[in-house]
């Protein structure tokens, strides 16, 4: 089995996983693994920022994680997060 097939299986099971493959749940704390530019703003979420108490909303499109930081509330993709 290839890495692409494993990734496709993980996406199909409805479980949200971080960049390392750890399962994320509502209330977990995560850390950003990459600087993220906020669309439509000059704000940048810096690598290493810890985000506490995430939410995993149902049917959120391609952004799996809802969170609040000091800069505001954001929807993030789990591929840019690692479990703290």
Instruction: Report the DSSP beta bridge partners of residue 72.
Output: 69
Q: How far is CA 77 from CA 1, 2, 54, 65, in A?
A: 25, 23, 12, 6
At 25-77, the pLDDT tens digits run 999 999 999 999 999 999 999 999 999 999 999 876 789 999 999 999 999 99
- The predicted pLDDT at position 3 comes to 54
Closest by CA to 52, choosing from 16, 17, 23, 26, is 26
Domains of the chain plus CATH, in order, are 3-83 (2.30.30.40)
């Amino acid at each position: 089995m290839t890495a692409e097939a494993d990734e496709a299986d993980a996406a199909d099971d409805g479980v949200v996983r971080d960049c390392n493959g750890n399962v994320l749940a509502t209330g977990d704390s995560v850390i950003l693994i990459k600087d993220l530019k906020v669309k439509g703003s000059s704000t940048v979420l810096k690598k290493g920022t810890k985000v506490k108490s995430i939410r995993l909303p149902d049917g959120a499109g391609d952004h799996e994680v809802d969170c609040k930081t000091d800069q505001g509330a954001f929807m993030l993709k789990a591929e840019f997060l690692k479990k703290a």
